[in-house]
Chains A and B, each alone.
Chain A
Amino acid sequence: MEALALPFFQRVVLAGLLASVACGVVGSYVVAKRISTLAGGISNASFGGVGLGYWLGFSPMLGAAGFALLASLAIGVGWRRLGSGIDTMTSMVWALGMALGILFASLAPGYSPDLMSFLFGSLLFVPWEYVAVVAMLDVAILWAVWLLGKEFQAVTFDDEFAEVAGVPVERTFLFLLALTALAVVTLIRVVGVILAIALLTIPSMIGRHWSDSLGGMMAIAVPTCAACVLAGLFGSWALAEAGLSLPPGPLVIVIAAAGHALSALARRAQGSSAP
Chain B
Amino acid sequence: MSDLAIELCHVSLTRRGVPILADVSLELARDEYLAVLGPNGGGKTTLLKVMLGLVRPDSGTVRILGREPEQARGQVGYVPQHVRFDLDFPIRVLDVVRMGRLAAREPFRRFRGEDDAAAHAALERVEMSPLAGRPIGALSGGQRQRVLIARALAMEPRILLMDEPMASLDERIGRNLWELLEELSQQLAIVLVSHDIGAISHYVRSVACLNVSLHGHPARELSAEAIEAAYGCPIELLAHGHPHRVLAPHGSDPS
Interface residue A153 (Cβ < 8 Å from any Cβ of B): yes
**Stretch binding the partner chain, chosen from A84-92, A106-114, A131-139, A141-149:** A141-149
Size of the chain A interface, CB-CB below 8 angstroms: 31
Stretch at the interface among B79-87, B188-196, B212-220, B231-239: B79-87
Taking the complex as formed, is B139 at the interface, i.e. its CB lies under 8 A from any CB of chain A? Answer: no
Q: B155 at the A/B interface (Cβ < 8 Å)?
A: yes
Cβ of A160 and Cβ of B110 under 8 Å apart? no
Q: Which of B67-109 contact A (CB under 8 A)?
A: 73-74, 76-78, 80, 84-86, 89-92, 95-96, 98-100, 102-103, 105, 107-108
CB distance from A150 to the nearest CB of B (A): 6
CA distance A203 to B74 in the complex (A): 36
- Evaluate whether A157 and B73 lie within 8 angstroms (CB atoms) in the complex, with A149-B110, A151-B107, A212-B135 already known: no
Chain A residues contacting B135 (CB-CB under 8 Å) are 212, 275
A58 interfacial by beta-carbon distance below 8 Å: no
Among A146, A161, A217, the residue within 8 A (CB) of B110 is: A146
- Name A156's closest neighbour in chain B (CB-CB): B89
- A64→B155 CA distance, assembly (Å): 42
Residues from chain B with Cβ under 8 Å of A153 in the complex:
91, 95, 99
Q: Mark B43-85, 1 if CB is under 8 A from A, else 0.
A: 0000000001010000000000000000001101110100011
Asked if B30 CB lies within 8 Å of chain A CBs, one says: no
CB distance from B49 to the nearest CB of A (A): 9
Interface residues on B, range: 20 to 34
Query: Does A244 have its Cβ within 8 Å of any Cβ on chain B?
Result: no
Whether B151 lies near A213 (C-beta < 8 A) is: no
In the complex, are the beta carbons of A164 and B108 less than 8 A apart?
Answer: no
Total residue contacts A-B, CB cutoff 8 A: 80
B99 and A154 within 8 A (CB):
yes
Contacts of A163 in B (CB 8 A): 54, 73
A168 to B105, CA, bound (A): 13
* Pick from B52, B98, B105, B110: contact of A164, CB under 8 Å: B52
A157 touches B110 (CB 8 A): no
Complex contact B107–A160 (CB within 8 A): no
What A residues does B52 contact at CB under 8 A?
164
**Contact A211 to B90, CB < 8 A, known contacts A150-B110, A161-B151, A165-B73:** yes
B residues at A contact (CB < 8 Å)? 52, 54, 73-74, 76-78, 80, 84-86, 89-92, 95-96, 98-100, 102-103, 105, 107-108, 110-111, 135, 151, 155
Query: What are 29 contact pairs spanning A and B, CB under 8 A?
Result: A28-B90, A147-B108, A147-B110, A148-B107, A148-B108, A150-B102, A153-B91, A153-B99, A157-B89, A157-B91, A160-B80, A161-B80, A164-B52, A164-B54, A165-B73, A166-B73, A166-B74, A166-B102, A167-B107, A168-B107, A208-B90, A212-B90, A212-B91, A212-B92, A213-B92, A213-B95, A214-B91, A216-B90, A217-B90
- 19 extra interchain contacts, Cβ-Cβ under 8 A, other than A157-B86, A161-B151, A212-B135? A32-B90, A150-B98, A150-B102, A150-B110, A151-B102, A153-B91, A157-B89, A157-B96, A158-B99, A164-B78, A165-B155, A166-B73, A166-B74, A166-B103, A167-B107, A168-B107, A213-B90, A214-B90, A214-B91
